[in-house]
Homo-oligomer: A and B are copies of this chain.
């Protein structure tokens, strides 16, 4: 049994991690922690866990965790995360970090989009937790940077094209739409129900922090610098991301070739399904699956992917990474 501690358990990714781990036959929740003012019994914070989980959410005590847990799911915001991760690693735990703090390999880029980085030592050996592209690094990792939700969806939509050098690398447009859970648990005017309901809008125009993350993955996959224009939108639903990616083919390509390419590229991937038509968000909600479909329109390639932002885009992928680290069947708890 893998013993799991969740740090920052009171947010949506914490709750989703609890939900999935309660069904995991080889892992066991041993500790939930949060800021002191958010503590209490898990069922008081999340009525949906009444009778299903008996843990209290307690203030974080890393010393106590040392002997108690094998792995920590660190569901803290960026900046806060890199304050605790070094201590968790020192205490002998493996860490799967949900924040952005260990995702961007280029410190300058990180610091441009976030804050000053304070744990460069661990950043250097952190694995980027997108198994479909970086499984080998994850296997031996002590620290996994769990990818952002948008980068997961975007990367899976274009990875085969990048790996096979089929598109122009200075021109990828990722137009994405997320459900509202991506905005987190804190109430705000934008996500107040009477504003968000029956609404749809773009945000973070030209400035979203996932843009450099998508570029990093894309560049890694392509083996050269890739430019991405990323434009997110939000719609009136709870979960899911639909990415519509527009690329320029480097040469001639047909829809049938694309379908075959994607099928071969993902044929051993347990959580990627290659569709022969457009995926819908509801096809993947509550699952760790990503559905992808690529085709040609006029002189362009248009590729679509759908994921659940809280599962494949966060907690499910974390558990997939945990399974890989501990040498389990990658799909346990996720089917």
Query: Bound state CA distance, A271 and B52, in angstroms?
Result: 9
Interface residues of A in 39-75 (CB under 8 A from B): 47-48, 50-52
With an 8 A cutoff between CB atoms, is A287 at the interface?
A: yes
With an 8 A cutoff between CB atoms, is A195 at the interface?
A: yes
With an 8 A cutoff between CB atoms, is A173 at the interface?
A: yes
With an 8 A cutoff between CB atoms, is A23 at the interface?
A: yes
Q: Which residues of B contact A51 (CB under 8 A)?
A: 270-271, 273, 289
Q: Which residues of B contact A280 (CB under 8 A)?
A: 47, 199-201
Q: Which residue of B lies closest to A12 (CB)?
A: B194
Q: How far is the CB of A177 from chain B (nearest CB, A)?
A: 6
Query: Bound state CA distance, A227 and B51, in angstroms?
Result: 33
Binds B, one of A99-107, A113-121, A130-138, A291-299: A291-299
Q: Which of A191, A203, A279, A280 is the most central at the interface, judged by chain B CB atoms within 10 Å of its CB?
A: A280
The residue that A278 contacts in the complex, of B186, B203, B281, with Cβ under 8 A, is B203
**Contacts A280-B47, A297-B231 given; does A242 touch B202 at CB 8 Å:** yes
With an 8 A cutoff between CB atoms, is A329 at the interface?
A: no
Q: Which residue of B lies closest to A281 (CB)?
A: B200
Assess whether A180 is in contact with B193, with CB atoms less than 8 Å apart: yes
Q: Which residues of B contact A187 (CB under 8 A)?
A: 187-189, 191-192
Mask: chain A, 68-105; 1 = CB below 8 Å from B; 0 = not: 00000000000000000000000000000000000000
Q: How far is the CB of A164 from chain B (nearest CB, A)?
A: 22
With an 8 A cutoff between CB atoms, is A205 at the interface?
A: yes
The residue that A237 contacts in the complex, of B179, B200, B206, with Cβ under 8 A, is B200
With an 8 A cutoff between CB atoms, is A284 at the interface?
A: yes
Mask: chain A, 274-310; 1 = CB below 8 Å from B; 0 = not: 0100111111111101010001111010101010000
Q: How far is the CB of A227 from chain B (nearest CB, A)?
A: 7
With an 8 A cutoff between CB atoms, is A38 at the interface?
A: no
Q: How far is the CB of A257 from chain B (nearest CB, A)?
A: 16
Query: Bound state CA distance, A69 and B108, in angstroms?
Result: 59
Q: Which residue of B lies closest to A201 (CB)?
A: B280
The residue that A296 contacts in the complex, of B206, B233, B278, with Cβ under 8 A, is B206
Q: Which 5 A-B pairs have the closest CB atoms?
A: A201-B280, A206-B297, A187-B187, A199-B282, A47-B283
Binding site for B on A (CB under 8 A): 12, 22-23, 25, 47-48, 50-52, 173, 175, 177, 179-181, 183, 185-189, 191-203, 205-206, 227, 229, 231, 233, 235-240, 242, 244, 246, 270-271, 273, 275, 278-287, 289, 291, 295-298, 300, 302, 304, 306, 335
